[in-house]
A = this chain, B = another copy of it.
Amino acid sequence: MKLTSQKIAEKAGVSRGTVDRVLHNRGRVKPETAEKIRKIIAENNYQPDAFGSNLARRQERVIGVLLLDPENPFFQVMKKGADDAVSQYKDYKIVLKMKNIEGGNEESYLTALNELQENTDALAIVGYNTPKIIQEVNKLCNKIPLNTMNTDMPDSDRIGFLGIDDFRAGQCVGLLTKEILPSGGNVFLMSGRKEIKTQEKRVEGFLDYTKQYTDLNISKVVYSGDHADIVYEETANAFIRHKYDGAVLMGAYLNAFTKAIDDLNLSYRPKIIGFDLIDANRKLLEDGKADFVIGQQGYFQAFNTIHSLCEYLIHKTPLSEGIHLLPITINNHYNI
């Protein structure tokens, strides 16, 4: 026989209504009674039936999702992950309230966060580390469960983080570079923005590996600001001046990167490694314009985060705290 709230009520010598009030901390129960009921619930390891409660419940639950730059295809991949995760729970009346912030400055982030937080039962956000934002996030953490994705906010009170180990990703690129380039080869290195921690960690990991384990000559890091035209321009400039056996891009716009090299009609084709398994980059692999693309599993970063929040909202499954890292993916022409 299934354990029901009715049985709990009988054991406690009260009615179902009272048990329910205790279950949802809805107050209006004498403390002693509440304590007694709680004890019985714990002892019998009672878990409310999901169907019963969802059949009876009225209002929907809302999960707020905050992503960055809507132009960046990477965040569109995350969006898809979030949508797919919640669509698995469509029976449960869970809806997503999704916001992208444009511009990427502190102010727009705070505005978006504030709009997102109203009438929301849980939050999944891509982190942004400024004192003011951390402060604001901490306020929210007191009210509802909040997880970070992709970019952590380690100094905040967020419950958990899901992302990748960017330093390790950089090391991985280092190893691949070593394996596919001749000893002593020259490598052109470009990144997006120094302030973006995830990208900078990749650079560090890459330099760490190549210095320790290779005799490759790595160029000074060139920063593109993650602007497609600057990626193109600076890459072209670099390859006009020097011969590089390999080219590594830690930031966005790998297509501009490869195009710059392509357009120069060099007599040789440098090995090219970039980041993010987005459609544009899939095509580069397909067409043989890039050799390796490192994927950061944006889809699963969002999917898994939303998934856990759903489980929490429905079954009160505890959210796992701390940092969780997905392995990156290594992609070439044959596994896109």
Contact = CB atoms under 8 A, between A and B. Distances in A.
B334 A169 contact: yes
Interface residues of A, number: 27
Contact of A334 (B51, B88, B91, B171): B171
A50 interface: yes
A335 B331 contact: no
A184 to B, nearest CB: 15
A55 interface: yes
Contact of A335 (B49, B291, B330): B330
Interface string A314-336: 00000000000001111111111
A88 B91 contact: no
A171 B179 CA distance: 18
A180 interface: yes
Contacts of A179: 179-180, 291
17 contacts: A49-B55, A50-B51, A51-B51, A51-B55, A169-B334, A171-B334, A175-B332, A175-B334, A179-B179, A327-B331, A328-B334, A329-B330, A329-B335, A330-B330, A330-B331, A330-B332, A330-B335
